[in-house]
Amino acid sequence: MNRNEFVIATAIVLLLAFTLGWFVQLVIQRFRRVSAADMGELEKLAQALHDAEESRDQAVMFLEQREQELSNQLSQTEAELRAAMEGLRDARQEAEEMRAYIERMHANS
């Protein structure tokens, strides 16, 4: 390969590299370009996402508040149940004492 053939081959390789680079740059620019309609759609999606996040946060707060209310109600109901059970136990004990007293009175008479 003489000097002229080497220069021509190098020039062709450089021309092909330049052409390929230019083509790739055009393709990348085409994919990167965002139209006004796409931007509008992206804005709508962003707003919808923001609204959905706010709704989710409100739902979470509502559920936490409701859980707290139910927890308090459950604690109150359990306390009332314990009080009722103690009252029932006392009433049974008193009824048992009354029966024993009545039996003693019948036995003495």
Same domain, 54 and 86: yes
| Whether residues 99 and 60 fall in one domain | yes
pTM: 0.51
- Do 64 and 84 belong to one domain? yes
For residues 63 and 20, membership in a common domain is answered with: no
Alpha-carbon dihedral sign for residues 47, 48, 49, 53 = positive
Same domain, yes or no, for 25 and 42? no
Give the count of domains, the chain.
Answer: 2
* Same domain as 57, residue 93: yes
pLDDT at residue 77 in the model? 97
* Statement: residue 86 has pLDDT above 90: yes
Residues 20 and 41 in one domain: no
Residue pLDDT, tens place only, 32-78: 777 777 788 889 999 999 999 999 999 999 999 999 999 999 999 99
My answer on whether 63 and 81 are in the same domain is yes
Task: Write out the residue range of the structural domain in which residue 95 sits.
Answer: 36-108
* Predicted local confidence at residue 36, as pLDDT: 72
To the nearest 10°, report the CA torsion of 41, 45, 47, 51: 150
